[in-house]
Amino acid sequence: MWKKIFGGGATDAASHDTSPICAVRCENMPHHVAIVMDGNGRWAKAQGLSRSAGHEAGVRTLKRIVRAASDMGIEVLTVYAFSTENWKRPPIEVDFLMRLFDSFLQKEIEEMHRENVRIHFIGRRDRFGDRFRRRIQEAENLMANNTGLRFNVAVNYGGQDEILRAAHSLAERVASGQLTPKDIDETVFSNELDTAGDPPVDLFIRTSGDLRLSNFLLWQSAYAEFYFTDTLWPDFTPDHLAAAVEDFAGRTRRFGGLTAED
C-alpha cells in the first residue's frame, strides 16, 4: 500500500523499491524526530522551475520520509509545513500552499489510515477556511485510534505562539480555581502544548544549510540533538534520514549531567 501512496511515476518508483539502510539498534532510535523542511524554493530555482513546483516536489519528498520513518520504527515525526511567519510570503504562494495542503488531505489520508499512521495538526487553526479546518478534523478523527507512527504536521505554527497559548490557558485555569500556581510544573505545562502526550524531540533535522530553529518546537527541543544538512528538502531521501538517525545514535546525551567518561 505504501508504494501506492508514495508512487507518482517511474522516477519515484525506482527510489521507493529500496528501503533506507539504517543499522541503529532499537534502544538507540530517536523516539521523536522533528524536521524543518527547508529549500523548496532554492531547489526550484536551481532547476529553472517555479516555487510552486518546488513545493510540489517537497510534498513528494515528505511522503517518502513518512514511509521511511514508519518503516524504521520512529514513534513520532513532526514536520514544519507552514509557520505563523509564512503569511508574509506573496499571496499567490500562500494560496498555492493552502491548496496543496487541501489536496494532500484529499488524496493521501485514506491510504495513510490503512497503514496505521495517526496524523495530528499542530498550530493555530483560526486563520484557515472552514473547508480546510473541516478536512483537518476529519483526518484526525479518522486516524485517532491508529497505533503506528504519530505524524504531526505544523501548520500556522510558531513555537513562541504555542508557549503563549499554553501560558494563557494555564492562567485561565488558575483564575477559575482549577489550578494553583504551584501546581504548574514541566509536565502540566507540556500537557497544554499542541504536542501533549508526545515525547520531547530527540532529533531535530534541518535541511538546506541554514543553522537556526526558526521558531519551531522551542519547548519540546530543549535537549534535542541537532542535525543540519546542506541537502535541499526535495532532494532529501530515506537514506538521508537514516544517516541522520545513525549520527544521532552515535552521540552521547548528558541532559545536563555527566557520563562515566567525563
Q: Which residues are catalytic?
A: 38, 86
Q: Which residues lie below 8 Å from residue 38, measured CB to CB, with a gap of 6+?
A: 206, 207, 208, 210, 214, 232, 233
Other C-beta atoms lying within 10 Å of the C-beta of residue 134: 12
Length of the chain, please?
A: 262
Q: What is d(CA 81, CA 13) in angstroms, rounded to the nearest whole number?
A: 24
Of 146, 39, 42, 58, the C-alpha closest to 101 is 58
Q: What is d(CA 25, CA 44) in angstroms, rounded to the nearest whole number?
A: 37
Q: Whose grid coordinates read 567518561?
A: 261
Which contiguous run of DSSP H or E holds residue 39?
none
Strand 225-228: give its sheet, edge to edge: 118-122, 150-157, 76-83, 32-36, 203-206, 225-228
Residue 130 sits at the vertex; the CA angle it makes with 55 and 61, to the nearest 5 degrees, is 20
